[in-house]
Structure 1
Amino acid sequence: MASACHPSLKPHRRRNPLTGEWVLVSPHRTKRPWQGQAEGASSATQRYDKDCYLCPGNRRANGADNPDYSSVYVFDNDFSALHSETDPNDSSQEATLDPLFTQESENGCCRVICYSPDHAKSLARLSDDERVHVVKCWQTQMGELSESYTWVQ
């Protein structure tokens, strides 16, 4: 799937020729939907939003429906910074950039963890039991992702 799209839309890393550091580039993330900036008491106290793609039972940006979850919910990010199917041997990206820039394919997995179906609850506002569920979820995700990746954030 990833090899079918234009090389400039694939996640990759570029080497900064001045510092020698590598920078992750994820140009495809500009296609993410934007629901606008929402601040203030109304968004902080709202428990359910029929238009929110993270709420239980609602449709996500990729067209999948969220289950009617009542606790911690995890799913692969619909607009992930990295793709697991990126071909590390794909050299088509190198042909699109100036020779001054060195770039390499990069793959990975990005997941979203919804701590609670209730938007009014931040991590600090969860009960102790709810926070335990979140920490156990982090541990599970770390274990799963560590089987495929050497570095998990």
Structure 2
Amino acid sequence: MRELRYNPLTGQWIMVSAVRKKRPWRPKNFCPFCPGSEETGFGWEVLLLPNRFPMLDFKAEKPQNEGFYKKAGAIGQCSVIVETPEHNLRDLDELSPEQMVKVVELWKSVTMELKDNPHVAYLAIFRNKGEEIGVSLTHPHGQLYALPFIPLKVRLKIENSRKHYKRFNECLFCRILEEEMKGERVIYENESFVLFMPFYANWPFEVHIYPKCHIQWLTQLNKEEIEDLADVLRVATATLNALFDRQMPYVMNIFQAPFKGQYNFYHLHIEFYPMLRDKDKLKYAAGIEMGTWEFTYDGIPEENAQKLREACKKVKEMLGARGECFTP
């Protein structure tokens, strides 16, 4: 059974899939993403694989609606993005610059492919890292969900950026970037992208990546910008991992514009939600966060941004980064 169930209180669709219960949980002696497995074969550098236990499927049947509650078909695609043949690499910063470029190019090509699919309203590309997040397989990989609806968080961002554009005739994201470039929370920049902790961070060491040019989709990036995006992603993950001298668990999300409609007021961006507030202390999304979706911030964002800048300086030369760590 696979279907979407609508929550009339929040306007959200809940993805329901019985097949998800069957997915493997951290197998010790076998990795389905390593070269030579039944799914992967040999001779590849990055790989897009169908998720064997998907929430969404283009062949999903449309359920019957009866009574008050509304259902819809779980139409869409769930895929795994295998980022390297090497099993023991721990994060994106351990990929070579060339390999990281290949990952970004795959993101761009799959965006181009799915953008023309009439069943896809929104493409969510994301990455989960660490046991604390609940990662079931440790081989370096990301995921994508090609959704038949626009998620609530994205709808809120669109609505607020549309209102700002109508009132001030400017992109809200461009304005945020202008404000952040004043220096208190910027961590790193290269020719095309800026890495910063936002003024309104939810997580103790949350960081965002904004392109300096006003674009809506990965498909609009040229060769130089793809290389710069690969660069800033390696710096971002290396900085997070150097912060406490241990691997940082996190969730990464790429926010593009939806595929249906005009969104000239919207702006491509990437957000990282790191799960540690100290070396051995997790930041839990507990009562107030889960109950109201309103976050508390223990500390001062500007002080944590300074810690991230110091960590960035430690890793910049090691990575051969293209840009500069920010000095206010």
- Give percent identity, aligned residues only: 31
Whether contact under 8 Å (1:17, 1:100) holds in the other structure is: no
Please say which structure displays the higher CA radius of gyration. Answer: 2
Match of 2:242 in 1: none
Match of 1:53 in 2: 32
4+ residue runs over 6 A deviation: none
Report the Cα distance in structure 1 between the residues aligned to 2:84 and 2:11, rounded to whole angstroms. 41
Whether contact under 8 Å (2:44, 2:85) holds in the other structure is: yes
Q: Structure 1 unaligned segments of length 5 or more: list them.
A: 1-8, 39-49, 60-64
Q: What amino acid sits opposite 2:34 in the alignment?
A: C
Report the Cα distance in structure 1 between the residues aligned to 2:102 and 2:55, rounded to whole angstroms. 26
Give the secondary-structure state (helix, strand or coil) at the position aligned to 1:24: strand
Match of 1:85 in 2: 59
Give the alignment partner of residue 28 of structure 1, picking from 6, 19, 22.
Answer: 19
Match of 1:62 in 2: none
Matches within 5 A, 1:1-150: 9-10=1-2, 12-35=3-26, 51-59=30-38, 65-88=39-62, 90-91=63-64, 94=65, 99-121=67-89, 122-148=91-117, 149-150=120-121
**RMSD value, Cα:** 2.1
Q: Structure 2 unaligned segments of length 5 or more: list them.
A: 125-328
Q: CA deviation at 1:70?
A: 4.0
Whether contact under 8 Å (2:57, 2:77) holds in the other structure is: yes
TM-score normalized by the length of structure 1: 0.69
- The higher-RCO structure (CA 8 Å, 6+ apart) is 1
The number of residues matched between the two structures is: 121
Whether contact under 8 Å (2:55, 2:74) holds in the other structure is: no
Report the Cα distance in structure 1 between the residues aligned to 2:11 and 2:107, rounded to whole angstroms. 33
Q: What per-residue deviation string (whole Å, max 9, x for no partner) do you get for residues 70-109 of structure 1?
A: 4111111111110111134x42xx35xxx34321112001
Report the Cα distance in structure 2 between the residues aligned to 1:18 and 1:130, rounded to whole angstroms. 44
Q: What amino acid sits opposite 1:74 in the alignment?
A: L
Q: Which has the higher helix share?
A: 2
Report the Cα distance in structure 2 between the residues aligned to 1:123 and 1:24, rounded to whole angstroms. 29
Give the secondary-structure state (helix, strand or coil) at the position aligned to 2:122: coil
Q: Do the aligned partners of residues 118 and 22 (structure 1) sit closer, same or farther apart at CA in structure 2, a change above 3 Å counting?
A: same
Report the Cα distance in structure 2 between the residues aligned to 1:114 and 1:30, rounded to whole angstroms. 22
Give the secondary-structure state (helix, strand or coil) at the position aligned to 1:124: helix
